[in-house]
Amino acid sequence: MQLTLEQETEIKRLTAVSNSTKRSTVTALEEIIYKLFPVLDHGFIRVIDYMGDDSAIVQAARVSYGRGTKKVHQDKGLINYLMRNRHTTPFEMCEIKFHVKMPIFVARQWIRHRTATVNECSARYSILDREFYIPAQENLAAQSSDNSQGRGVSLSENEANDVLNILRTDAEHCYNNYEKMHNEDEYGNRIDENRTGVARELARMNLTLNTYTQWYWKIDLHNLMHFLSLRLHPHAQLEIRLYAEQILEMMKRWTPMTYEAFMQYRMGGAHLSSAGLEAVKRMLNGEKVSHSDVEMTKREWNELMKVLDKPEE
């Protein structure tokens, strides 16, 4: 994984000068701004810019002009209250911008989160790099028998090697034809002086979904937490989950009090339906309750039992 020469030059220019500001800054996040964090085999994520911090959230909630005489523990308590009671607007006062490099199939999952501003590298104007995501052998698995969106048992070594060979061969073959069609190599040099080549916007359709793309992605903290709550879930696809894990660590640096509240009430908590809540109340009253005693589907009942660390039926 690497940055382009233009991107490296930009980083050197930006880091060569320290800018004074009257707005809030976060030391822990400033320490890693522009720094590249590798993800997958050729991917990465880095923080480009941000606005606001924990104090901006409590300021918005109190509709005041500053922290005043409020204590840190009061700010923490307020953030916990906002998170616990699903208040959203105060968290939208903070924004962060990332530069992300990922396989196209990961980007297509990622773009489902429509509450962000995105500017992606365009293959209409640029030639995509000859870089493809090839999974580690241990991450290759068969289709899950009980989850139509997920992976099941691991493949045998021979079958996994066959799959890896197909992925590499097809990606290279398609990229070679991609270059041939628009008659340019990955450095922009003409391959055959006697051919014109088709437009880049047409040639790009031949690329495989494991080809890498890049974008800038700006999002507010509320919607970032929604992204994380879905993409950190064990059922989320491994590849996008690895990016979410890096973002979570960045959020921990950026808004530590919000991070703690998020982990406690969103990631570590559980949401119960009215039927589920009624079942829990009956259990607390000493009643023996089974699936046949409640108006819940078998799947919902088993999900509740998993939350309560009780045997599924």
Contact by Cβ (8 Å): 203, 182: yes
Catalytic option among 46, 200, 204, 231: 231
23 Cβ contact list (under 8 Å, min separation 6):
51
Instruction: Specify the pLDDT at position 192.
Output: 84
Instruction: Specify the pLDDT at position 218.
Output: 98
Sheet of 37-39, strand order: 37-39, 43-51, 95-103, 212-220, 117-120
* Residue ranges of domains in the chain: 5-133+212-267, 155-209, 274-307
AA letter at 141: A
Tokens (6 digits) for 7: 């991107």
- Report d(CA 18, CA 262) in Å as an integer: 32
Instruction: Specify the pLDDT at position 147.
Output: 65
User: 5-133+212-267 has which CATH code?
Assistant: 3.30.1360.170
- Report d(CA 299, CA 302) in Å as an integer: 5
Instruction: Specify the pLDDT at position 149.
Output: 67
Helix axes 221-231, 238-254, angle to 10 degrees: 140
Among all chains, which residue has been given the structure tokens 């606001």? Answer: 52
- Look up 282 and say whether it is catalytic: no
Instruction: Specify the pLDDT at position 65.
Output: 46
pLDDT in tens, the chain (313 residues): 577 777 888 887 877 777 788 888 999 999 999 999 999 999 999 999 999 999 999 999 988 545 554 666 789 999 999 999 999 999 999 999 999 999 999 999 999 999 999 999 999 888 899 999 999 998 888 776 666 667 778 888 899 999 999 999 999 999 999 999 988 887 778 888 888 889 989 999 999 999 999 999 999 999 999 999 999 999 899 999 999 999 999 999 999 999 999 999 999 988 889 999 999 999 999 999 888 888 899 989 998 999 898 888 7
